[in-house]
Amino acid sequence: MLMRKCLFVSNDFFKYRYCSHPAKITTTHHLFLIQHFCPQFTNFKSTEYLCRQITVMADSNFVDYVKIFARSGKGGAGSAHFRRAKYEPMGGPDGGDGGRGGHVILRGNAQMWTLLHLQFQKHTFAESGQSGMGALKHGSDGKDVILEVPLGTVVKDAETMEPLFEITADGEEKILMKGGRGGQGNNHFKSATNQAPRYAQPGEPFEEGWRVLELKVLADVGLVGFPNAGKSTLLSVVSAAKPKIADYAFTTLEPNLGIVSYRDNRSFVMADIPGIIEGAHEGKGLGLRFLRHIERNSVLLFMVPADSDDVAADYQTLVNELRLYNPELLDKRRVLAVTKCDMLDDELTAAIKKTLPSDVPCVMISSVARTGLEQLKDLLWKAIND
């Protein structure tokens, strides 16, 4: 088991969080295994950094990808029974129908936010329907199994990775695996020419298979920026969310959501995702896997810090990374915010303003000094409702 985990590490250590057991091994184990199997991480500092990241991710409660096996119940067979009663020599066919097999159903739950619970429930089986019985007794239906999932869960076939359906509303139910229909009893097949049918339908078979559930967070605005751009700080200032903030790269390892209140009791949802860096499409940094969480956002807020050498070039780099991940992301409305503007004096502010790209609405903000935030909200609200 440990070796398998380590091989995961050597290939792509972020796959680690998808392996079947939560991390039980200690950092010392990690160190030993990584040094043994991944000599490219001989530098102690990078190994230690890797261990920290792995431990943090393995302990994380945010799971946005699970692979589950589900099987519905098969339908109960119809009965081929004949009525037998005293003084009633030819009672005729009275076989009842079989019950329907239970479905495996996914139900949207707005209170949920992760697929963690399904990581520990990989296999789901629904009950089969009961067979029909004599005296026209119908077999009971198999119980449905309902799996609750957060809104924005996309279901894919695990082999072809073809999207099947998506859950977007609270209480919305979709059948993941359909239970087999119950067979009809011989009572249905009697006719003038065949008054004693010995035939009854068998129940329909179950469905089974592996499905991948992927969570794509549903938010109105997605924050896109390099690490340390001040994304989490902005979210913490404009909403009640309390993301972790620190002055090192990749502080945020999983998306955070916050509700931003706007004037007149209106509000919108903002999603802070881990930072991306140039070359993310080649797997650098945390790669592009978190970008799936901004696929559903209607507006993308690009954030470039004011201390950047060239704001327009940094913005272009971010746009390019998005294009390489999914060109459709560029169809979304965009807003550019230059962050940390409290560090600038008037002269520098004017100089930066001149270099800003003209094809996107821009705003200068500071989350610490709380300047430009109302203007930013106005721009975002306008972009959301356009």
Residues in contact with 65: Cβ distance below 8 Å, sequence separation at least 6, in sequence order? 18, 115, 212, 213, 214, 215
Count other Cβ atoms within 10 Å, centred on residue 151: 21
Nearer to ligand GTP, 170 or 342 (CB): 342
Shortest CB 56 distance to ligand GTP, Å: 12
Question: With CB cut-offs between 5 and 8 Å by kind, which of ligand GTP, Mg ion, none does residue 250 bind?
Answer: ligand GTP
The residue sitting closest to ligand GTP, measured at its beta carbon, is 275
- Asked if 62 touches ligand GTP (CB under 6 A), the answer is no
Span near Mg ion by CB under 5 A; candidates 149-157, 158-166, 246-254, 368-376: 246-254
Rule CB under 6 A: say whether 275 interacts with ligand GTP: yes
State the nearest-atom distance from the C-beta of 367 to Mg ion, in Å: 12
Residue 245 engages ligand GTP in binding (rule: CB under 6 A): yes
Q: Taking CB under 5 A as the rule, does residue 60 contact Mg ion? A: no
In the bound state with ligand GTP, the residue whose beta carbon lies nearer, of 129 and 305, is 305
Task: Give the whole-angstrom CA distance, residue 340 versus residue 306.
Answer: 6
> Residue type at 377?
K
- What span, in angstroms and rounded, lies between the C-alpha atoms of 180 and 129? 8
Could you give the C-alpha distances from 124 to 73, 151, 153, 155, 187, in angstroms and in order?
A: 11, 20, 17, 15, 35
| Residue in 231, 292, 296, 377 binding ligand GTP, rule: CB under 6 A | 231
d(CA 372, CA 378): 10
Shortest distance, position 234 Cβ to ligand GTP, whole Å: 7
| 293 is an interface residue for ligand GTP by CB under 6 A | no
Residue from 366, 372, 377, 381 in contact with ligand GTP (CB under 6 A): 366
37 counts as binding ligand GTP under rule CB under 6 A: no
252 binds Mg ion (CB under 5 A): yes
Which of ligand GTP, Mg ion, none interacts with 78 (beta carbon under 5 to 8 A by kind)?
none
Using rule CB under 6 A, residue 119 touches ligand GTP: no
239 contacts ligand GTP (rule: CB under 6 A): no
Distances (CA, A) of 348 to 112, 229, 309, 352: 45, 18, 12, 6
Look-up of token digits 């954030």: 303
Q: Which of 251, 320, 326, 375 binds Mg ion (CB under 5 A)?
A: 251
Q: How far is the CB of 269 from ligand GTP (least distance, A)?
A: 17
Q: Which of residues 327-346 bind ligand GTP (CB under 6 A)?
A: 339-340, 342-343
Does 232 contact Mg ion by CB under 5 A?
yes
Contact pick of 274, 287, 361, 372 for ligand GTP (by CB under 6 A): 274
Size of the site for ligand GTP (CB under 6 A): 24
Single-letter code of the amino acid located at 193:
T
Which residue from 145, 119, 141, 146 is spatially nearest to 130, judged by alpha carbons?
A: 141
Considering the rule CB under 6 A, would residue 311 count as an interface residue with ligand GTP? no
Q: Indicate whether 10 belongs to the interface with Mg ion (CB under 5 A).
A: no
339 touches Mg ion by CB under 5 A: no
Identify which range of 120-128, 214-222, 289-297, 362-370 contacts ligand GTP by CB under 6 A: 362-370
* 184 scored as a contact of ligand GTP (CB under 6 A): no
Name the site residues for ligand GTP (rule: CB under 6 A).
225, 227-233, 245-247, 249-252, 274-275, 339-340, 342-343, 366-368
Residues that bind Mg ion (CB under 5 A): 232, 251-252
